[in-house]
Structure 1
Amino acid sequence: MTLRLSTVILPYRRWHEGGRSAWTRAEQLGFHTAYTYDHLSWRSFRDGPWFGAVPTLTAAAAVTERIRLGTLVTSPNFRHPVTLAKELISLDDISGGRITLGIGAGGTGFDATALGQAPWTPRERADRFAEFVSLLDRLLTEDGTDGVTYEGSFYSAHEARTIPGCVQRPRLPFAVAATGPRGLRLAARHGQAWVTTGDPKLFEDGTPEQSLQALRGQTEKLAEACAAIGRDVRDLDKILLTGFTPDRGRPLESLDAFVDFAGRHRELGFTEIVLHWPIPDSDFAADQKVFEQIAMEAPGQLA
């Protein structure tokens, strides 16, 4: 099984002060995809610079040629399907069909209240997510002159037109982040890929072995969700966003450490591993030289 290596570049640097160079370097290093977070702010970066995902990806599309680009992940916390669809088809056009939408239900962090609303309950997040993904799927697929009209519990659209539609057909791919049963069903029905960060309950006190077992359980539940609708789970890419398992930054300590880590997760069926671009003095601190060595040499060892 081929294992792809991707990166996620957080949008905390001004474009002309290191922001641009990270994206062009990611392409030079041969990463399959370069993602960015789609947040208004995030954890320890909340009081520092943080730029918007869509403008950042637009700029990245203009200075790269081959590497895929995407969000990891977009959520309903501050997005609406109609306006998001318009931005996505524009991004897909500007990039020449290189956009992947990572999409998740969102959480209870800063994004959840930035627009002045009370945080949604887990049930409401799940309800909104299901409606959000379904409507976004229609908007990006049905690009005729009649537009899309929809009246839901949380979202509405009236003759919303997304002409000319996506460059990628029938639409750009969705990478659905999910661990619970409802989210996994959405991934099975609407996703071209599934995303996980592992089991958050294991982050502080779990072991790498427990994490592998939890991820094995998630992949098995995904297979069950696919089987329930007659879909082959092998049709979906399985993406692991690293940095949130008990291993933390250890896979980036050396090439050998990463190859061992990636190989064990490939055995679980993962097809793509995503590494955070190193950020000094943060949770994602790592040796840039080792990071680049991994990018250049690990794919050959994992082939």
Structure 2
Amino acid sequence: MSLRLSTVILPYRRWSEGGRKAWQHAEQLGFHTAYTYDHLSWRSFRDDPWFGAVPTLTAAAAVTDQLRLGTLVTSPNFRHPVTLAKELVSLDDISDGRVTLGIGAGGTGFDATALGHEPWTPRERADRFGEFVTLLDRLLTEDSVSYEGDFYSAHEARNIPGCVQRPRLPFAVAATGPRGLRLAAQYGQAWVTTGDKKVNDSGTPEQALQAIQGQAEKLADACAALGRDMAGLDKVLLTGFTPDRGRPLESLDAFVDFAGRYQELGFTEIVVHWPIPDSDFAADEKVFEQIAMDAVAQLG
């Protein structure tokens, strides 16, 4: 399978002041998917404009025709499966089946306390995530769902007519630990990683590559335990967090070299951040556009 190139467009611009144009330009450049973060706020953007993911994706669906759209990623931090499922069915309908749900366990950032509770421990996040994904899968594939869990409940929750994509829209499960990888193997149509946080913070690019290879091997074990062929699971790398940081976007050759190494590990999709001046994702827009238009052909 040839490598796909996708992008993340952070929702920090008003729709009338560059937001709309970015999504349309992503389609013009030929990106496979344009994702956005599903956060209430994020890191250095906390005190700056920041808009909701689902309304942004709905607007993007209305001004594009071929571009796939998605979250990268949605988490249980401030979402409930019942209400999220209704929004996703609606978004999948509006986009005519172009939505991918990137989904993860969430972290300890601003989203974790915005609803007024203390941040959950890693174990609590993992417990909630497992129930969240399991219930969401049912809500998106069954007409009516009743469920009583430890964290979430549903009483005759209806999602008729269901997703345009059958049996439901695809899940891209972000995971690095054993429980998350099992969820990716069981429910995912794709697996997402940003690498190993410890290595990303203090390691080298080569160590990051080795760490991600180790994650992929554990995912293969999880798939094997379920009798699933890992070849049927897309593998997605969200860039910008490994020790390379922004270096792969410094030139077309640099990106082709970077992406090629991950393609050799079996990755099927590389996701790059749309350039944002004066931020962690600053990059030369001309180089970015050249990568978007020419890199996939060079990678074969």
The question of 1:258 aligning with 2:260 is answered no
Q: Across the two proteins, how many residue pairs are aligned to each other?
A: 300
Q: Distance in 2 between matches of 1:214 and 1:175?
A: 20
Matches within 5 A, 1:56-135: 56-135=56-135
The one-letter code sitting in structure 1 at the alignment partner of 2:188 is G
Write out per-residue CA displacement over residues 46-84 of structure 1, whole angstroms, 9 at most, x where no aligned residue. 000000000000000000000100000000000000000
Task: Describe the SS at the equivalent of 1:239.
Answer: strand
In structure 1, the residue matched to 2:240 is 243
Root-mean-square deviation over aligned CA pairs: 0.4
The offset of 1:241, in angstroms, is 0.1
Task: Describe the SS at the equivalent of 1:27.
Answer: helix
Q: Distance in 2 between matches of 1:214 and 1:269?
A: 14
Matches within 5 A, 1:165-204: 165-204=162-201
Q: Distance in 1 between matches of 2:155 and 2:67?
A: 35
Write out per-residue CA displacement over residues 21-56 of structure 1, whole angstroms, 9 at most, x where no aligned residue. 000000000000000000000000000000000000
Task: Describe the SS at the equivalent of 2:44.
Answer: helix
Q: Distance in 2 between matches of 1:90 and 1:80?
A: 16
Q: Distance in 2 between matches of 1:141 and 1:205?
A: 42
Task: Describe the SS at the equivalent of 1:175.
Answer: strand
Q: Distance in 1 between matches of 2:121 and 2:50?
A: 26
Q: Distance in 1 between matches of 2:7 and 2:240?
A: 12
The gaps in structure 2 that reach 5 residues or longer are none
The offset of 1:204, in angstroms, is 2.7
From 255, 258, 275, give the equivalent of 2:272: 275
Task: Describe the SS at the equivalent of 2:69.
Answer: strand
In structure 2, the residue matched to 1:232 is 229
The alignment's TM-score, normalised by the length of structure 1, stands at: 0.99
The alignment's TM-score, normalised by the length of structure 2, stands at: 1.00
Q: Distance in 1 between matches of 2:60 and 2:74?
A: 17
The offset of 1:205, in angstroms, is 1.9
Task: Describe the SS at the equivalent of 1:213.
Answer: helix
The one-letter code sitting in structure 1 at the alignment partner of 2:14 is R
Write out per-residue CA displacement over residues 221-280 of structure 1, whole angstroms, 9 at most, x where no aligned residue. 000000000000011000000000000000000000000000000011100000000000
Q: Distance in 1 between matches of 2:94 and 2:232?
A: 27
The gaps in structure 1 that reach 5 residues or longer are none
Task: Describe the SS at the equivalent of 1:159.
Answer: strand
Write out per-residue CA displacement over residues 172-229 of structure 1, whole angstroms, 9 at most, x where no aligned residue. 0000000000000000000000000001111232111101100100000000000000
In structure 2, the residue matched to 1:295 is 292
The question of 1:164 aligning with 2:161 is answered yes
Q: Distance in 2 between matches of 1:295 and 1:142?
A: 38
Q: Distance in 1 between matches of 2:27 and 2:3?
A: 17
In structure 2, the residue matched to 1:285 is 282
Task: Describe the SS at the equivalent of 1:102.
Answer: strand
Q: Distance in 2 between matches of 1:99 and 1:25?
A: 18
Task: Point out 4+ residue stretches in structure 1 off by more than 6 angstroms.
Answer: none
In structure 2, the residue matched to 1:23 is 23
Q: Distance in 1 between matches of 2:215 and 2:122?
A: 19
Q: Distance in 2 between matches of 1:288 and 1:128?
A: 39
Q: Distance in 1 between matches of 2:209 and 2:171?
A: 25
